[in-house]
Structure 1
Amino acid sequence: MDAIETDVAIIGAGPVGLFAVFECGMLRMRSVLIDALDAVGGQCTALYPEKPIYDIPAHPAIEAAGLVDALERQIAPFAAPRLLGQRVERLEGGPGDFTLGTDAGRTVRARAVIVAAGAGAFGPNRPPLDGLAAYEARGGVQYYVRRREDLRGKRVVIAGGGDSAVDWALALADIAQVAVVHRRAKFRAAPESAAKLDAAAAAGRIEMVIPYQLHALHGADGQLSAVEVATLDGATRLLPADVLLPFYGLSMDLGPIASWGAALDRHHLRVDPATAATSLPGVFAIGDIATYPGKLKLILQGFSEAAVAAHAIHPLVFPGEALHFEYSTTSGVPAG
């Protein structure tokens, strides 16, 4: 297959990577999206498409899948090619002349690279329980809620103390029988969400199982019937369950990106916040994979970083050409 020629190769097709297509397009720069997942949207699509997001400007609330759909419409004029279901394994060259190779045998030649890969490849942290795989195969143990309605009328045990555990307990309380298992009374979720959880528990809408941890799974032929939990002192109890949702976070893997020689800070790419540039000339990083003093892991901050990176890349694509900053209300959207 012929190599794809472009101005900017964007690694990662989550919300921030999608918006980078828009920001590059507004500066008349072509881009290509590459993602290991087989659909755009990153974690918003793969992990929580129906989960509402509350801190996107002008949207008091928007479901993750709705945000991805809106971004798709926004970047449609730029017709950026997508290489989905494949991972970038090789990066060669330098500013103005990069060559990227994927594990599917595709080649992309670009003048600059934007890494918007979230925190790299991700997967759930699985609880160490006997027979786990069999229950996963039958849907008794799930790590993501793709359709809230699928859990209507179910007995759902949620394990964990972070935002995902609390948010889904609240989201499912009106349609399912929900029990929340946590090793201590204090939760790591946003204070407002934790307060709502306490209120729901006080109203009898959610059962709080504290201080307990997951201990064993019970059922037959991979069909879950109960979750056994235990205290640190060894006291156990059985919770009737059709579905267990263990929310213990994601295990992150930068994969080949870690071997490219860019400066890292705790498995993140260190960047200059003024340009989003990494220590590798011509390679920029935005979104959750990028770090700098004062960094906030928010989608809206990633959107800002996409604009910063696009403006910093412009001289690499159009050397010697002055960039006159214009508001979109003045310039409009360039034709693709």
Structure 2
Amino acid sequence: MPETLETDVVIIGAGPVGLFAVFECGMLRMKCIVVDALDAIGGQCSALYPEKPIFDIPAHPQIAASDLVLQLEHQAAPFDPIYLLGRRVEALRQEEGGFTLITSAGDTLRAKAVVIAAGAGAFGPNRPPLEGLPGYEAGGGVRYLVAKREAFRGKRVVIAGGGDSAVDWALSLKDIAAKVVVVHRRDKFRAAPETVAQMQAAAERGEIEMAIPYQLHGLDGDGTTLTGVRLATLKGEEKLVPADHLLAFFGLSMELGSIADWGLGLERSHIAVTPATCETNIPGIHAIGDIATYPGKLKLILQGFSEAAMAAHAIHPRVFPGEALHFEYSTTKGVPG
């Protein structure tokens, strides 16, 4: 049922950076509503690689993406954020004292500031042009992410792609799948050199089968249940690989959606911001995380965390005009009740 809600800050995007923005705003006594198109919090960490380890989070030599999201959710919980999931912000208009946003579910949100933490916008997988693909997607034979590693135990898995996702999951699934076949059109991979070397070593030991230089050519089965994947070379040589699952990792297609129509300063589908405040060309609208761009920007979660803190401090005067902000470390003031 559509809602009409008022808050201090609307955060668009419930990925790690958006969740940390809830915490940073909360530490400054600002209430947040978080809107995300996905049905669960966590963004790409939850949707694409929940079990994949992340190695560059401070104080965590290694942490699974899903565990990182869980900890961020717990960190934000004391500030009682409102999550509006499974919906997009379709419209935004400036009004005296702030902004009004309308979601795809018909919600009306009024806020004094907006933080766009939408990653690279709405995303979806690049699908291979194969006949009968939708039926096998519905049947679970063709997938574009691994939500639970255990789902592939004892299964015959074909992995297509040459990037980090393909290589990482080939290494991860080889220990539990009945068979793993990696399909790539050439012997050069775009993944991290260390993991590529690990995959090649696993192939030499017979733990992974490499199908190079092949491309996806077709799907075998009854239209719903997959039984095999047909491959072909550019020379027309074909072969059939028995398979229960095809994991196609050809990247994501990104769309800013309605955000592109809000008059923000866009640079190649990213939002230009002032580095010190992460404010866009529209006062009161800030962008953080992967969607934000400025000279020297690094697309790292930890930099997004820093941007969340800078944006929150820049927003404070809008929410509490005329009130001096006396900065204190969290170790001094704790978490406000």
TM range (shorter): over 0.9
- Give structure 1 regions of 4+ aligned residues with deviation exceeding 6 angstroms: none
Out of 236, 241, 244, the position equivalent to 2:243 is 241
Counterpart-to-counterpart distance in 2, 1:162 and 1:131 = 25
SS for the counterpart of 1:279 is coil
SS of residue in 1 equivalent to 2:316: helix
Note the residue ranges of structure 2 that are not aligned, 5 or more in a row. none
Q: Which residue number in structure 2 is paired with residue 318 of structure 1? A: 320
* Paired position in structure 1 for 2:171: 170
User: Which of residues 311, 322, 333 is equivalent to 1:331?
Assistant: 333
- For 2:112 and 2:327, locate their aligned partners in 1 and report how far apart those are by CA, in whole Å: 21
Percent identical across equivalent pairs? 70
Query: C-alpha separation between the residues in 2 aligned to 1:300 and 1:200?
Result: 32
Paired with 2:144 and 2:156, the residues of 1 have a C-alpha distance of 16
| Equivalent position of 1:104 in the other structure | 105
**Aligned partners of 1:193 and 1:329: how far apart in 2?**
39
Matches within 5 A, 1:145-294: 145-176=146-177, 177-294=179-296
Q: Name the CA distance, whole Å, in 2 between partners of 1:165 and 1:173.
A: 12
Could you tell me whether the CA contact under 8 Å between 1:92 and 1:100 is conserved in 2?
yes
Q: Distance in 2 between matches of 1:89 and 1:221?
A: 36
Cα displacement (A) at 1:157: 0.4
Counterpart position of 1:299: 301
SS of alignment partner, residue 29 of structure 2? coil
Work out the CA distance in 1 between the residues paired with 2:191 and 2:285.
34
Instruction: Output the CA distance in 2 between the equivalents of 1:135 and 1:2.
Output: 37
Distance in 2 (alpha carbons) for counterparts of 1:196 and 1:283: 44
Q: How many Å separate the matches in 2 of 1:95 and 1:205? A: 63
Q: Return the letter of the residue paired with 2:224.
A: G
Partner in structure 1 of residue 94 of structure 2: 93
Task: Write the distance in 2 (CA, Å) between the matches of 1:272 and 1:124.
Answer: 31
| Structure 1 residue 255, shift from structure 2 partner | 0.6
* Aligned equivalents of 1:304, 1:95: Cα separation in 2: 29
8 Å contact kept, 2:98–2:284: no
- Unpaired segments ≥5 residues, structure 1: none
Counting matched residue pairs gives 335
TM-score of the superposed pair, with normalisation by structure 1:
0.96
Q: Which amino acid counterpart does residue 28 of structure 1 have in structure 2?
A: R
Q: 1:310 to 1:295 in 2, by over 3 A?
A: same
Distance in 2, matches of 1:133 and 1:23, equals 42
Q: Which residue of 1 aligns with 2:311?
A: 309
Tell me the CA shift for residue 244 of structure 1. Answer: 0.4
SS at match of 1:193: helix
Aligned letter for 2:45?
A: C
Shift of 1:94: 5.2
In the alignment, the residues of structure 2 paired with residue 185 and residue 308 of structure 1 have an alpha-carbon distance, to the nearest angstrom, of: 44
Judge conservation of contact 1:95–1:112 (CA < 8 Å) in 2: no
Structure 1 residue 149: deviation in Å? 0.4
Give the alignment's TM-score, normalised by structure 2. 0.96
Distance in 2 (CA, whole Å) between partners of 1:75 and 1:25 is 8
Partners of 1:96 and 1:282 within 8 A in 2: no
RMSD over aligned CA atoms reads: 1.3
Q: What is the rounded CA distance, in whole Å, between the counterparts of 2:187 and 2:97 in structure 1? A: 54
Tell me, yes or no, if the aligned pair for 1:96 and 1:112 is still in contact at 8 Å.
Answer: no
Q: How many Å separate the matches in 2 of 1:270 and 1:117?
A: 14
Counterpart Cα distance in 2 of 1:171 and 1:295: 31
Deviation at 1:322, TM superposition (A): 2.0
Correspondences of 1:125-144 after superposition (within 5 Å): 125-144=126-145
For 1:295 and 1:195, the matched residues in 2 are separated by: 29
